[in-house]
Chain A
């Protein structure tokens, strides 16, 4: 029989250290929903999603109860809509976003991802239509998430798309100004986006994926933090070992739940995403893990090294616990969704430049950051370009989810509510990048040898 210590350890992780399954995300291909007629396309999309995912939430809740482990979110990702809608004779895809929203509500999921376009090398007419539909789509829907992949290691960076995304984010913020620009919290600009990411807002169901698949994202910053409290002052070898062991346990649970959900739903199991995903709850913070390693405040010198160790150890521990690992797999550092990051940003120790450096060594990027409402579109585009460059050169996924909060200044706070948390408005550099962004064109793909 299992020993008492093990059973109690698991119960403590779940009930005291916020261990949970962050999301089970069903990926659904919509490639067979193409139609010249927009209404017909929408009808096919609605039917397909609500048929495939009709039992997703119920099954998630059953598993949650039987295993006694919370599954915080049940979500859906779909084929990038710019592909699905390309055949439609329509100027705007807002109607499709409304359809996705309605399907999400019917299925009872809190987010649906895939209002997306992959434009790393260039934009099709359909990609432009999708990108330009984003502001209205985000304002008109509640649960739809959008993403645009603007760069990759193999293709370089599409600077025309980067420039456009700066303007799109400003428009999105303006259209959702009554909610402090909340629409921008549902838009991610990627470089090297992955096809099997279960986490929102960046999830979409890639074209290399099967008809329908189930991906799982685990959480567990609280568990890692607690484990590290047991090795205070010890060398980093032991710190890494402790994180690895903890990540193994957390991931095994994700694997178990994923397999069970996949069996019950009759849908193939895709991957476990090994990300450490924080929440705004006290005791569920990635920043506090870094501080536990010996940093006074997250963001001070040493933070990048601490994060590099954490990110690597989480992967090493997790990879053995799951038969298929994928998605983003790394530590997330969203500012608004992490109690320790919020505190560090408010204290002024954690700034955008340090965050950018941190994204060189971890998943995913500048995530859930509020900047002053008067930040120009060109500056936002330049922030996106910097982040995409880090992803492109380092062959990793990077992303920007930034909220130019209308009417807000440095020192204000933007309240998103729920898991999205609240973000202190962070300062940006005041020197202009407008001429840089105005050039347009494409930054060529980087050399992959002669690495220095």
Chain B
């Protein structure tokens, strides 16, 4: 099962490192990353494989959200299906 992780917030040192380390700790494999700075905001999107994740997806959503709040970022984890359904026929 794949999930999309989106990170939005004010740019600073260590965002990618922090997010990737957290994901690695839960055994989530990062498949692809793209990032950009839009209107002064750091925006990163990651495609991840969460099948081997050590905690249920719902819990990962909460953990990453909490971590985001600590770092002053918005971190969202969502199943990839929702984006596929909306934008692909």
Given known pairs A1-B32, A7-B4, A11-B6, the reply for A67 and B86 (CB within 8 Å) is no
| Shortest distance from the beta carbon of B19 to any chain A beta carbon, whole Å | 16
Cβ contact within 8 Å between B45 and A67: no
Interface string of B39-56 (1 = CB under 8 A from A): 000010101000000000
Given B43, B82, B87, which contacts A67 in the complex, CB threshold below 8 Å?
B82
Is A66 an interface residue when CB atoms closer than 8 A count as contact? yes
Once the chains are docked, how many angstroms separate the CA of A136 from the CA of B57? Answer: 45
| Shortest distance from the beta carbon of A257 to any chain B beta carbon, whole Å | 8
Is B61 an interface residue when CB atoms closer than 8 A count as contact? yes
Is B17 an interface residue when CB atoms closer than 8 A count as contact? no
Cβ contact within 8 Å between B86 and A6: yes
Chain B residues positioned under 8 Å from A66 (CB to CB): 57-58, 61, 78-79
Is A262 an interface residue when CB atoms closer than 8 A count as contact? no
| Shortest distance from the beta carbon of A362 to any chain B beta carbon, whole Å | 25
Once the chains are docked, how many angstroms separate the CA of A60 from the CA of B43? Answer: 29
Given A11, A62, A256, which contacts B85 in the complex, CB threshold below 8 Å?
A256
Q: How many residues of A contact B (CB 8 A)?
A: 21
Is A264 an interface residue when CB atoms closer than 8 A count as contact? no
Cβ contact within 8 Å between A67 and B81: yes
Of all chain B residues, the one with the shortest Cβ separation from A250 is: B86
CB-CB contacts below 8 Å: B31-81 with A: 31-32, 34, 36, 43, 45, 47, 57-58, 61-62, 76-81
A-B contact count (CB 8 A): 65
| Shortest distance from the beta carbon of A216 to any chain B beta carbon, whole Å | 13
Cβ contact within 8 Å between B76 and A68: yes
Of all chain B residues, the one with the shortest Cβ separation from A64 is: B58
| Shortest distance from the beta carbon of B78 to any chain A beta carbon, whole Å | 4
| Shortest distance from the beta carbon of B73 to any chain A beta carbon, whole Å | 14
Cβ contact within 8 Å between A7 and B83: yes
Chain A residues positioned under 8 Å from B86 (CB to CB): 6, 9-10, 249, 252-253
Chain A residues positioned under 8 Å from B36 (CB to CB): 4
Once the chains are docked, how many angstroms separate the CA of A66 from the CA of B64? Answer: 12
Given known pairs A7-B6, A10-B87, the reply for A253 and B47 (CB within 8 Å) is no
Chain A residues positioned under 8 Å from B4 (CB to CB): 2, 7
Given B32, B58, B62, B83, which contacts A6 in the complex, CB threshold below 8 Å?
B83
Is A65 an interface residue when CB atoms closer than 8 A count as contact? yes
Given A7, A68, A69, which contacts B77 in the complex, CB threshold below 8 Å?
A68
Is A255 an interface residue when CB atoms closer than 8 A count as contact? yes
| Shortest distance from the beta carbon of A248 to any chain B beta carbon, whole Å | 8
Is A450 an interface residue when CB atoms closer than 8 A count as contact? no
| Shortest distance from the beta carbon of A6 to any chain B beta carbon, whole Å | 4
Is A8 an interface residue when CB atoms closer than 8 A count as contact? yes
Cβ contact within 8 Å between B76 and A11: yes
| Shortest distance from the beta carbon of B77 to any chain A beta carbon, whole Å | 7
| Shortest distance from the beta carbon of A418 to any chain B beta carbon, whole Å | 25
Of all chain A residues, the one with the shortest Cβ separation from B47 is: A1
Chain A residues positioned under 8 Å from B84 (CB to CB): 2
Cβ contact within 8 Å between B82 and A2: no
CB-CB contacts below 8 Å: A1-28 with B: 1-2, 4, 6-11
| Shortest distance from the beta carbon of B38 to any chain A beta carbon, whole Å | 9
Once the chains are docked, how many angstroms separate the CA of A27 from the CA of B82? Answer: 25
Of all chain A residues, the one with the shortest Cβ separation from B34 is: A4
Once the chains are docked, how many angstroms separate the CA of A249 from the CA of B86? Answer: 5
Chain A residues positioned under 8 Å from B62 (CB to CB): 65
Once the chains are docked, how many angstroms separate the CA of A8 from the CA of B35? Answer: 12
Cβ contact within 8 Å between B85 and A253: yes
Cβ contact within 8 Å between B87 and A6: yes
Of all chain B residues, the one with the shortest Cβ separation from A68 is: B78
Cβ contact within 8 Å between A2 and B58: no
Once the chains are docked, how many angstroms separate the CA of A9 from the CA of B86? Answer: 10
* 4 interchain residue pairs of minimum CB distance: A68-B78, A6-B87, A252-B85, A256-B85
13 contacts between A and B (CB under 8 A): A1-B47, A2-B4, A2-B84, A2-B87, A6-B83, A6-B87, A7-B6, A7-B45, A10-B86, A62-B58, A65-B61, A67-B81, A68-B61
A→B interface (CB under 8 Å): 1-2, 4, 6-11, 62, 65-69, 249, 252-253, 255-256, 260
